[in-house]
Amino acid sequence: MNKNIAIGTDIGGSHISCAAIDLVSGKIIRNTLTERSVDNQAQANTIIGTWTQALSAVLEKVPLENVKGIGFAMPGPFDYVKGISYIRGVAKYENLYGINITDAISNSLNVKDGFLIRFMNDASSFAVGEAWAGSAANFNRSLSITLGTGFGSAFIRNRIPIVDGPEVPKLGCIYHLPFKDGIADDYFSSRGLLSRYKKLIGKELGG
Domains 5-114 and 138-201 share a fold: yes
Percent helix, strand and coil across the chain, each to the nearest 5? 30, 30, 40
pLDDT at 1 over 80: no
Instruction: Find, among 99, 90, 118, 100, the residue nearest to 13 by Cα.
Output: 90
- Residue 12 has a pLDDT of 87
pLDDT of 180-206, one tens digit each? 999 999 999 988 999 999 999 999 987
Q: Domain 138-201: which topology?
A: Nucleotidyltransferase; domain 5 (3.30.420)
pLDDT of 68-114, one tens digit each? 999 999 988 899 999 999 998 877 899 999 999 999 999 999 998 88
pLDDT of 111-144, one tens digit each? 988 899 999 998 899 999 999 889 999 999 999 9
Sequence ranges of the domains in the chain: 5-114, 138-201
- Residue 144 has a pLDDT of 95
Q: Domain 5-114: which topology?
A: Nucleotidyltransferase; domain 5 (3.30.420)
Q: What is the pTM of this model?
A: 0.80
Q: Return d(Cα 81, Cα 70) in angstroms, integer.
A: 14
